[in-house]
Structure 1
Amino acid sequence: MNAARLRPYRLLLVVALLVLVVDQITKLIIVEWLPVGTYFVGSSLPPVIVIPDFFYLVHITNKGAAWGMFEGYTLVLGLLGVVALYSIFHYRATLGLKRPLMQVAFGLLIGGIIGNMIDRFAYKHVVDFIDLHFGSYRYPSFNIADCGITIGVGLYILATILDAWKARKNGTVTEG
């Protein structure tokens, strides 16, 4: 693909690259700085307290997908990432990727997918390090790539709802 063909997707590429770079730099810092297993307050490897009783830095490994689901399927999950990226590329016109909101949404998503794929192929697991507590509830640990994926999907859903609302308002959608 030449530069002229990439130009309409500049925002998507910049957002994806930004998420990927921040994700990989933060994971590299955690891998070099905190030993694996740094997690529970009071353990032999306590977390780094950023905001007491709310935000901690930890170093755990995730050999599965979100919340550790599908543990042990690292290669399959990595290949699913490749399929997702190919699908986004292949269906880019259908997905409306020339629109700015869609570029941001899919840039976040692509950066996150690639960030976690790098971990899966380099480490055989994903590095998670953000640990949030809400009272007695501890949210499952995550990373910057996960943030990109989650926010990207949320923006895509929002854009889809806005498109449907605009179409209904303009009378271009029929009920039934």
Structure 2
Amino acid sequence: MFVAAGQFVVSSVWEENAQVCVSLMAQAAGRGVSLLVLPEGILARDDIDLDLPIRAAQPLDGAFMTRLLEESAHNNMTTIFTILVPSTPGRAVNMLVALRAGHIVARYAKLHLYDAFSMQESQSIDAGTVIAPVLDVEGVKVGLMTCYDLRFPDMALALALQGA
């Protein structure tokens, strides 16, 4: 299994970010990648306007996801990333999504929010309530976690007990 990371600087314009993701997906698929992992929060970001990611949040059937699903339909590569999905007014869920063959094959709302030092993620992000699923990628069981989740060994243990 060939795994790749697609790294890029997320802009404040979701359409630009979608195009970068589509390009990275096409490049990776063309090189025989089985699993492509993209950054967290790829919908929109602005270092000056810190509320932009919440305002830019889109549902899983929104235009951003639709564009990536269209690209995903061209191959059997698994692509994993996170976007903010609206939850309640002014709030969102940090949703890890796995795409394959034009479908969402797994999703997970981030459980462990980063509330430390000067960062208070819980001020605008709602935590998930369910441990992430284990995803099969070409016979390899992949456990899904994002960002601050890695600081909580119980989650890694739960995924390992599921075979990841």
| TM-score, normalization by structure 1 | 0.23
Tell which structure's C-alpha radius of gyration is larger. 1
- Give the number of the structure with larger relative contact order, counting CA–CA contacts within 8 Å between residues 6 or more apart: 1
- Larger strand proportion of the pair: 2
- Larger helix proportion of the pair: 1
